[in-house]
Structure 1
Amino acid sequence: MAAAQSIQSDEPPYPSFEELRRNEQHVLFSLAAKRIYWPLEGVFPSTISVMRTARSVGELDPFFTPDTSGSGSDTWHEISSLPLTDPKVSSIEASLRDLDQWESDWLACHRDHTAPEFNAEYITYGDLSDEDQPYADEPKEDGSWEEDSDMEFLIRCCGDDRPLRKRGLKIKVTPSAGHNFVTVHDYVSAVHPWLMGLRGDIIRAKAVARPMPYPESVPNIKWMVSNLTAPQHEIMTKEFWTEMHRPPRPMDATTSRFLQRIGARTAQ
């Protein structure tokens, strides 16, 4: 019989996001957080907007409205003070899937370039530190997974260095003064500058990303921060992100009648 999961009280102190996950408790980004329209550009808070619903990309309100009268009455959107997650958490660590996958994608992109038909002058092999060496494909006789000490690794190809120590980068977000839980404002205000500091690496990672690379030479690509798998975020093109957040398309009459017939048969 499975152990009963504890039910979290809606009173502080709150657990961290990671504690809830370790205890296999259900925790997701809140409906408020899913309304964030988050371009990977500009500065916080002016670059951030709020959708009327999680699928209304054409209806945006400013996350922050500065006062223009000189009275100092700046206005934050109402979702800024709402909980980031459901249930509330006392801390959360944001990460980036694109950088976690970067080294693996880079190797997949350049692996075939070591073949004889490619120009060897563009390929560089060398040593990697113990920290950077990948695990072997199979364990050795002594049970270890380390590669042989005399093995050389692909460290540069096509003028591009192997991206080392990019996996596992995280930023921990905690509540601002006066709060016991992480709010939407707490999270976006901390994570956006962090992502912008990594923007150059993100664009390089996208150039070798699987299954669809986006060459750095392609101009004018707009990027969006996706919350679909948050707090491990993924960067998407604005076009793809927008398509995923459009309202569901209306069902045509033929499909509707077909589903009605299926439902009628199931009910018999």
Structure 2
Amino acid sequence: MKTISIINLKGGVAKTISAINIAYTLVKVHGKRVLLIDNDKQGNTSKFFGLHSYEDKSLADLLTDRDCSIESVIKPTAYEGLNIIPANMNLLRANKEILLDVSRPQQTRLRKALSQITNEYDYCIIDNAPDINMTVINALVASDDVLVPIKVDKFAFDGLELLVEQIADVKEFNDNIIFKGCFITMFQKNGVNVQGCEYLFSSTSYPLFHTVVRKTVKVDETTFVGKPLLDYKKSTAGQDYEKLVEEYLQMC
């Protein structure tokens, strides 16, 4: 099982939408078995699939309760081949409890849990909060690759240096982690976006995917109906996520 972290320390860059559609593209187009982990206290990935709850166990329980099995936390979605570990505001508590609990390792809990199901899935996609905290550090320690969605604006790479430093620090626990690159989301074919995109490709030292995900109203529509783009309506963004996943797979 290859584990991929989707992360940006900025909000509003289509991080959750990207995690969902990358995961579903791997399932629908490439026939892969995928586990999607919601690692954001907002729980938007969980809400998307109608699996946000305070009654059932969530990622917070997996990371803090030593008797909690990963099987008890995984929930099936409506899509065969795609399961999810949901999250909720209990992640706030989990971050504090992990820091206070020095009786067992703090950074490797998620990796240890995922090691128990490594043969059950081909990919694990983690939708991370725009933060650096203990649950995000656990995600990075468990990850093979890191993908960063960015929006074309003056502040596109704000926080990226800190994130790259954090990835370097995580190598103490996970020497295999690789920053695969950034990919542009919500692209509009106007002067600002076209020029900004050209500038980003020519000026940055950070790796950039060639595939650009275009902005479409259908992305917003999918959040109301709870369907990934490829299962909703034909759209430019859905096609772009297909190309993005294909580009990623060719890099591996």
TM range (shorter): under 0.3
TM-score by structure 1 length?
0.23
TM-score by structure 2 length?
0.24
The higher-RCO structure (CA 8 Å, 6+ apart) is 2
> Which has the greater radius of gyration?
1
